[in-house]
Chain A
Amino acid sequence: MADQPILELRKVDKSFGPVDVLKGVDFAARAGEVTALVGDNGAGKSTLVKCVSGTYAIDGGEYLFEGNPVTVGSPRDASALGIEIVYQDLALCDNLDIVQNMFLGRERTHGLTLDESSMEQAAQETLTSLSVRTVKSVRQRVASLSGGQRQTVAIAKAVLWNSKIVVLDEPTAALGVAQTAQVLALVRRLADRGLAVVLISHNMTDVLQVANSIAVLYLGQMAAQVDRSAVNQQQLVELITTGRLHGTDIPGVRKGAPA
């Protein structure tokens, strides 16, 4: 963890009118690691992601990308930096096939016409490189895919663009046990390829299984960003629900009885 984070937020504030949703939040994501972002409903996870993606502009604090301060004012700015967000509702077109979805809005062309064979090959290569073997044919329509396969396609779509950071919003929320395992394995492989993965999840088991680092938001403040190995499930739940920990000495975590 000595190397510099690829994405770092310092003392970020965000408010909507009189409501302070984020209060001086620090957050860091490193290349090659899965950084989990957890927190109870209303803790500010979605707002934080929208600040990262450029959907919301931050009110105060610093946004550092590869160590340099940057201004991310729109989703296009984020894409230009190599930040891809995979939203919970996936944003896939059911009536198009896998290749068409993966290249949606960024189709390759030969002059006027679509370069179908090169897109198909690139999609196939990306899925192969992610060791995705659950998809029968890349020319299948997305409507015929299971939830896990759709998630896989959505993630592969984000990876196709040589992105550096992939933010996954609840990727396993609607999946069964086996499919969850497949998606988590894929998440792990993304990090192993050198990407920084930010995983938002409500599922503690998932988080503890794949994350290298866990950031806990509590009522708009960063309660702690700790190494996976530093906490167990019980401590994590305590952090999420109270924002602090009893008796244990973990750096960066406030101690003491719940407020």
Chain B
Amino acid sequence: MTNLEGPQGVDTDAGSGASAATEEPDVSSWATTVPQANSAGGYVRQYLQRVRGGDMGSLPAIGGLVVLVLLFSAIQPTFRGLYNFGNMLTEGSGPILLAMGLVFVLLLGEIDLSAGFSGGVCAAVMVRLMVGYDLPWPVTIAAALVTGVIIGLLIGWLRAKVRIPSFVVTLAFFLAFQGVALFIVNNGAGAHGDVRITDDFVLAFENDQMPIWAGWLLAVVLIAGYAAIKFSAQAARRRQGLLGEPTAVLAAKIGGLAIGALVVVFLLNQNRSINRQPIPTNVNGTIKFVSPPAVEGVPWVVLVLVFFFVLWTFILSRTRYGRHVYAVGGNEEAARRAGIPVDRVRISVFVIGSFMAAVGGIMIGSNVAAVSVQNYSGNTLLLAVGAAVIGGTSLFGGKGRVLDALVGGAVVEVIQNGMANLVQGNNGSSVQYIVTGIVLLLAAAIDALSRRRAGATGLA
């Protein structure tokens, strides 16, 4: 990395004393910056250099996703069906929402093992108020979210103020919350056991679709919003006389998002119902053949995913708070000396983690139309942690994005879904567990190795 040093023409004559050092250096001849990447080619080269230096981001996850999708599609006719595409979106949304919150926790080098059961407790609170006390959905959902915030405050306080390692705090809560969720589900007014969700609004997240036009509108708003942000940032940089991203790169990014969003919405707007044969139905006393309702449109949960993805990405990358999260994760002492309230930041990430666990917990309940404690078991949490880590968030803190949760979550869901279809029979779930475990290990290994590589090349 000698090219970073620049010319070494400083007066090194130590013997001449202070008088030599007082000489005014010839500032005019010194270029302050080496040319930056102001062309598309230079930009790409810079990116490749970062990747070689170990800063791979989501690249391994995206590669893995492509390979897995191709593999399962080739050997599994049911996997590549449109129905399964929508199915995977709703099935994967819970762990992905959990993982978005875990990204914040992982950014500080912490862990929240209780996130799965925290979600379970929150969902249990929601369903108990809904079923036992007949409260409307705004109240039940709000109660679940507030429960999440309280859990996060408790974990954060124990970690930051009492100074118990987060591994131990959340392991204790992992056990305790399992009991709390079971207690709420098995006690109180209303049905007990696996409590069925009765509210149509809550069920709609995972079981109903947006109107066709709303899906297109969502895509257009996303693309226009992204382009507006990119162009205004570009304009701001130009006003300050700074180099922006090359126009070609900008266009490629916006174009890529546009194609992706439009293709996904187009696919989801097709009728993906498996049963299309008209079925005999009793209509006002006479038997008629009626076609089953079409399953078409973007599932409502996608709106939830997009909302939280945009919200947390904005907070993490554009606000002072987000910068402080990265700083505390990178060097706690430096953050403290810079006047950042380290303890408050630490508590806040657990609050965000548990809040997102509540959101994910509600979606998991909506997916199976009931709250049953086994759906929030250890596997759920590991899938969510796995999603974040596979996506490129470091377990060592300081490195990660909300996007990682989405990309990693997609990988995890494809494995879950593909393996479940592939190895049906007695040993289906055993193979599934083993493969998911190996993938998680692989992701953690890539994380650790890329850190070592980054240390060796001086790039990170």
Contact = CB atoms under 8 A, between A and B. Distances in A.
A93 to B, nearest CB: 4
B10 A94 contact: no
A198 interface: no
B52 interface: no
B33 A94 contact: no
A44 to B, nearest CB: 22
A93 B335 contact: yes
A97 to B, nearest CB: 10
A85 to B, nearest CB: 9
Interface string A114-142: 10111011001001100111111110010
A202 to B, nearest CB: 15
B439 interface: no
A188 B21 contact: yes
Given A93-B326, A104-B327, A106-B338, A121 B21 contact: no
Interface string A222-245: 000000110000000000000000
Contact of B237 (A76, A117, A133, A148): A117
Contacts of B327: 93, 96, 100, 104-105
Given A91-B337, A209-B18, A120 B330 contact: no
Interface stretch (A3-11, A176-184, A246-254): A176-184
B11 A185 contact: yes
B319 A120 contact: no
Given A104-B340, A118-B240, A178-B10, A91 B17 contact: no
A70 interface: no
Contact of A184 (B6, B21, B459): B21
A138 B31 CA distance: 14
Contact of A149 (B4, B237, B239): B4
Contacts of A177: 12
Contacts of A104: 323, 327, 334-335, 338, 340
Interface stretch (B22-30, B139-147, B381-389): B22-30
Contact of A134 (B6, B21, B236): B6
A212 to B, nearest CB: 6
Contact of A131 (B25, B335, B399, B459): B25
A182 B10 contact: yes
B6 A208 contact: no
A162 interface: no
A136 B459 contact: no
Contacts of A20: none
B338 A105 contact: yes
A208 B10 contact: no
A105 B36 contact: no
A23 interface: no
Contact of A92 (B17, B18, B331, B340): B331
A211 B330 contact: no
A46 to B, nearest CB: 16
Interface residues of A, number: 63
Given A112-B319, A181-B10, A91 B25 contact: no
A228 B5 contact: no
Contacts of A132: 32
A50 interface: no
Given A91-B337, A132-B32, A146-B4, A209 B20 contact: yes
A212 B338 contact: no
A114 B323 contact: yes
Contacts of B454: 143
A259 to B, nearest CB: 30
Given A134-B4, A192-B24, A96 B14 contact: no
Contacts of B333: 89, 91
A210 interface: yes
Given A114-B320, A135-B33, 9 more contacts: A89-B333, A94-B331, A95-B326, A104-B340, A112-B319, A127-B32, A135-B4, A137-B34, A185-B11
Which 8 residue pairs are nearest across A and B when measured between Cβ atoms? A105-B338, A93-B330, A143-B460, A95-B330, A95-B398, A91-B334, A104-B338, A117-B240
5 contacts: A113-B319, A114-B320, A116-B236, A121-B240, A181-B8
